[in-house]
Amino acid sequence: MEWASRFGQRTNALDSDFIAVRYLLTVNASVNASCIKYHQVLHFFMASKQTSRAFKTARFNKDAKKAKIKDQALCDAIQQVMLGKADDLGGGVYKKRLNDNLHRSIILAKGGRYWIYEYLYAKKDRENIDDDELLAFRLLAKSYAELTEHQVALLIVNKDFVEICHDD
């Protein structure tokens, strides 16, 4: 892609779109500098906001309904996790207390782009996850971090993921 090599490779789709627009604007000689400046300001504003999406797996969705945990409570909890108010188990695996401390959730978020509620359990049923489970969750977190937008869309369409909050 000529525009990517000309303006530098970027990490996310928003940056990529901005670079493509900027390239198209500079190719068109009739576009004035104020238009380019507008797009630069727009890009700065949008890029300054970290985009992240939160999901729950189909299994977590079923368990959360049974435990009467609402999506808004899950979104609020994700915001707390982003602020460091959760147990960081390493490798993109977090443990967060839910439902007035009656339940524990395992959230996978390596890279911070996708936050996925993977596992829910009652505190009364078990204290913690096993070491083998933790290793499996770390591997799964790594896999989730490598998902493309298209793959995420397919997971949603197939009802493997349910999106609960999206902050763009």
Judge whether residue 166 has pLDDT over 80: no
Helices 13-27, 33-47: axis angle to 10 degrees equals 180
Q: What is the pLDDT of residues 8-53, one digit of tens each?
A: 444 444 444 444 444 444 444 444 455 444 444 433 333 334 468 9
Cα separation of 156 and 163, whole Å?
A: 7
Weakest mean pLDDT among 89-98, 148-157, 158-167: 158-167
Closest CA to 163 of 115, 99, 119: 115
Closest CA to 3 of 32, 27, 28: 27
Edge-to-edge strand list for the sheet holding 161-166? 87-90, 93-98, 103-108, 114-122, 53-57, 161-166
Q: Give the pLDDT score at 2.
A: 40
Cα separation of 120 and 106, whole Å?
A: 6
Q: Give the pLDDT score at 113.
A: 87
Residue 35 identity (one-letter amino acid): C
Q: What is the pLDDT of residues 118-146, one digit of tens each?
A: 999 999 999 899 999 999 999 999 999 99
β-bridge mates for residue 108, sequence order: 93, 116
Tokens of 158: 């197939």
User: To the nearest whole number, what is the mean pLDDT of the chain?
Assistant: 79
pTM of the full structure: 0.69
